[in-house]
Amino acid sequence: MKKQPQPEAQLTCLDLFCGAGGKSLGFEQAGFHVVGAIDKDGPAITTFKKNFEGIGDRAIAADIRTFTPAMMAQLIDRDRVDVIIGGPPCQGFSNVRRRDGKNHGDSVVEDSRRTLYQEFLKYVMFFQPKVFVMENVLGLKTAVGGKYYENIRADANAIGYTLQEKKIFAADYGVPQKRRRIFFIGLRADLPQKDILLHPTHSDDQEKQFGGLLRYVTLGEAIMDLPPLQAGGGEEIAEYDGGRRNKHIMEYGTRYLYDVLEVGSAPKLTAHRARPHSKRDLKDFEVLSEGENSKTVEARGIKMQFPYSRKSFHDRYTRQHRNRLCSTIVAHLSKDGLMFIHPTQNRSLTPREAARVQSFPDWFEFPVARTEQFRQIGNAVPPLVAMAVGLAVRKIL
């Protein structure tokens, strides 16, 4: 089952750097109608079209540096939209690259991705939305000495938008992971200037359901109903395990499974396939207790077999804990899943498990190639976070 635009929604939205569609899904859930989308990643656009019925050719695989706002206006048959959303690529600002000096310090390396926000603002200047929303990593504030952070603020002001900055911890909005991001929300200067208030959603439901024992949705709540797999096991299309789900509901309740993951709208389980692992990795997995990483294991005197530097990769092997938040889902999952070992099974997370941690509903389908699935899921904005932002924007409009 695919989400369709809400016919009653009056507010229109254009998604730049749309990826697989996490932002668009969240904004549609907040009541917006996504009228167009662009990303130069062809497979991601294929995923977008598959899951947003009716978008058709208004979701286009193109480079925003050469596909002009005027061309987009012709494609979507309008030159005004209420909101523009987007997430210019974050690698040029990521703190993960602080170690090699590419984004920070005296040896910073030029990266053309850092200026893609300018292409975003060209669209803003052309379409004159009432509000724009730009998402990125927290490292944007400090990368290259804060140069691009200050430029974004100045450039937005120069085209007539006042900027509000929101730091978001995804778990506050019901997403079971430690993801932290920054959102720039630009409000057109001729509109009444109101503070855009985001409302965390986790606390009331969780405290009522669990008697105050749990504050956040946990990894276990998100994935432990899924059929168990061995490394390399699973099928692209499979059946759910009804008995396992019933036990899961007895422990965790129905809210995340049915309200967020919408399992009732997914007749089949897709993308629950585990990647294979070497015998060496599997032996290393076995010595990791729930919630442990390789550093803590070796600190208690157990020698692991992995060949990587203990100094640089002290947490490279991490078994997640079912009663805690998951580590931040990232696109690196497409390369290996060593930091995302299942809490109780001797394997790394599957694409469907990663998608659930990102708050994608189970009916949302990804390409068949597992590497591509991981990349698209890791690059996405969690729909629950996008919905929270969308609801806040909708309220002031």
Closest of 138, 27, 47 to residue 374, by C-alpha = 47
Provide the edge-to-edge strand list for the sheet that holds 12-16: 59-61, 33-39, 12-16, 83-86, 131-137, 180-188, 161-169
Residue 133's H or E segment, with its range, is strand 131-137
Between CA 73 and CA 282 the distance in angstroms is 52
Q: What are the sequence ranges of the domains in the chain?
A: 12-201+381-396, 206-379
Torsion angle defined by CA atoms of residues 264, 267, 271 and 274, in that order, rounded to the nearest 10 degrees: 90
Q: 372 in helix, strand or coil?
A: helix
Each residue's pLDDT, cut to its tens digit, for the chain (397 residues) gives 455 545 455 899 999 999 999 999 999 999 999 999 999 999 999 999 999 989 999 999 999 999 999 999 999 999 999 999 998 885 444 444 444 444 344 443 444 445 789 999 999 999 999 999 999 988 887 776 777 888 899 999 999 999 999 999 999 999 999 999 999 999 999 999 999 999 887 654 544 444 444 579 999 999 999 999 999 999 999 999 999 999 999 999 999 999 999 999 999 999 999 999 999 999 999 999 999 998 888 888 888 888 777 676 667 899 999 999 999 999 999 999 999 999 999 999 999 999 999 999 999 999 889 999 999 999 999 999 999 999 999 999 9
Predicted pLDDT at 111: 40
- DSSP structural state of residue 101: T
Cβ atoms within 10 Å, residue 305: 11
Provide CB contacts within 8 A for 124, sequence distance 6+. 84, 132, 156, 159, 161, 186
**Can you identify the CATH homologous superfamily of domain 12-201+381-396?**
Vaccinia Virus protein VP39 (3.40.50.150)
Question: Can 90 be counted among the known catalytic residues?
Answer: yes
- Confidence (pLDDT) at 171: 95
Whole-prediction pTM value? 0.89
Q: Which of 13, 18, 90, 326 is catalytic?
A: 90
Which tokens sit at 25? 């899904």
The reported pLDDT for the residue numbered 10 is: 81
Neighbouring C-alpha atoms within 13 Å toward the C-beta of 363 = 18
CATH of region 206-379? 3.90.120.10
| CB distance 55 to 37 below 8 Å | yes
- Distance of alpha carbon 49 from the chain centroid: 18
In 174-264, DSSP assigns E strands to: 180-188, 237-238
67, 75 in Cβ contact below 8 A? Answer: no
Cα–Cα distance for residue pair 266/10, rounded to 1 Å? 28
